[in-house]
Structure 1
């Protein structure tokens, strides 16, 4: 028997419904893509593009699924009655297992993260290294972005009930916020602190700053989302009045966030801190102290 004859034997009398379903799915994909291309040529803001894209896409797929369900209504009713008891028993006995499988389908279809992304989930932070049917595996990272040497896993079922933060959703470049606590003795010169921080950040990101800005601009146009420009920005966190925190936002490659953070901190702190005395000055001070202690300093013996 040919493949088509076998399919006809498996689905007796249902070929018309199968063809209608395939045509509806194809039309839904086609109309969604045509609408996205049409929006890309319109002179409107990214927020409005994204809003219209999501709204129209949801309407298209809702109508298509409604028609498909109505076409298969009689078949679905008979099949559902025969499997209702078995499905109920499976859900009761293995609820967690079913949730893990549903979470895997969610991660596959929606793609909130992929291999190589850095995510924060349920008090875990790390780089995704594996996604299987039941769990997601992370290489744990500390707050500075360094590997801790630990591997963490969480069941995919938790994706359905817990929020997730993807720290690298925009491809090769990411926005990284560097937080530097400021001592009270520096609070009188906020402009000088901001200037030192901007100079340090621009120096650390000079090699890719233009490329990063082009990357974020292109990502905004393709995804219909108003993303930040990627330009270095300085702000203050004054939620605790007794402890001011300088926040420096930079755009950098994902794998270099820790290196950039350390460089910006060192250069900023070096610019704000007073210069240490030179070696010659230290020697002069030591010589004067020795002379005074011995009472034989020439400068002290000379008349005024």
Structure 2
């Protein structure tokens, strides 16, 4: 089976489970704006911008999506059926698109994601269906996303592999005098070269010596020195799925106490598995 067919099958399963969840939580529909959930339900990438994007999934039928015209090309490779509504750069056309997308849903309960939905989209939704009730649909979609399918597991493994390979390509470049900033820059470039998306899960933490004691250090011009611990906390983004890894290395000979601490941490980690 081709990767396109596998994704199409996965999306069909996600949509079916979403419809079941909507019935379970007493919702007639959910309205999802640009967010990880939208990527999960469409297999397409959207980011929050000044132009609103919304997808309406009901208890039956195809989803409806409202997007700016400039995003319409993405749907040439969509792996699911969708009623697509586009709008122009004229702000007047935005409300018409939202009203069209929500036609027939006035007076219903529509779920949204409170932590993602902006006032921008909410105002257009409320104007489109003034008698509808917009309530939290977070439990419905969060529970859905907790169960990873085969496609998701493969993407998570790929994100992890990209991050690991990037670090292995970075380590040989380290030498006495390499700064934390230089090491972080090399790591980022390697992740991008190996297939990571440009929007990383977080900016990599690279910390040498005393800086490695700071759990959320920011790379500085501190150079790598003999006897340092070198900490890397980083991750890659593969099609919206993130990896998050932490590794600590020694550079040259370190104090015996640090070896003992490392041994204790390793034993505790092994015992907890």
Q: TM-score per shorter chain, which class?
A: under 0.3
Greater percentage in helix? 1
- TM-score, normalising length from structure 1? 0.20
- TM-score, normalising length from structure 2? 0.21
Instruction: Give the structure with higher Rg (CA).
Output: 1
